[in-house]
Amino acid sequence: MRTQLLRLTIALAATAALSACPHNNVKPDAAPQPPPAAKVDAPPPAAPAADPAAAAFKAQGQAELDKALEQLRNVSVFFEFDSSTLTKDASDKLGVVGEVLSRHPELDVKIEGNCDERGSAQYNLALGQKRADVVKKYLAQLGVKEGQIRAISLGSEKPADPGHDEDAWKKNRRADVQAAPDAAAAPASSTPAPAAAPAPAK
């Protein structure tokens, strides 16, 4: 009987010891964390919007240039018979041309001196050059830079009117002004005109 009581006591003590064992207090493993989300590259910054003021300024500048070119289109000044002297009408027209060119130094002009068909080719070339040169000189007096102006003679090779009467000759005694933007004018030259051969004056 005593033996059984001793065994029971030992069994109870073992049970109590097992109940107090620290392994019963072990915490469960933490739940696995999800992998970090893949890093998405940020979109590139948007290009800055065009400056409306700059665009308007550019458009205004182009409009002014177009207007200047229009004012220089088909400008011709006319001369009296056998003369390279500017008339009042010619001076008035060239006044507008000079104002435009002074305001737009990016414009270059070519002045073509012309004559009617009367007289020798050599004489007409010389007179055409005088007419182109007098126009060039007048524009320079108005403030146009010399580098903007080129003066040449076409003699009687480019008639405005192919007729053979006074009405046609009046149209052909002229100097034409032609302009273009951003075109470098050829160096202005005043090549001495060849000696005029005796010929009827025009």
Closest CA to 83 of 115, 55, 61: 115
Spatial distance between the Cα atoms of 130 and 128, rounded to a whole number of angstroms:
5
pLDDT of residue 169: 97
Place of tokens 């126009």: 135
Better-scored residue on pLDDT, 180 or 130: 130
Is the pLDDT assigned to residue 20 strictly greater than 50? yes
Better-scored residue on pLDDT, 52 or 134: 134
Better-scored residue on pLDDT, 168 or 24: 168
Token couple for 25: 């207090």
Is the pLDDT assigned to residue 160 strictly greater than 60? yes
Average pLDDT, the chain: 79
pLDDT of residue 193: 46
What's the rounded mean pLDDT across residues 174-180?
90
Is the pLDDT assigned to residue 13 strictly greater than 80? no
CATH class, range 76-181: alpha beta
Distance of CA 157 to the CA centre of its chain: 35
Tell me how many degrees the CA angle 35-36-39 measures, rounded to the nearest 5: 140
Is the pLDDT assigned to residue 157 strictly greater than 90? yes
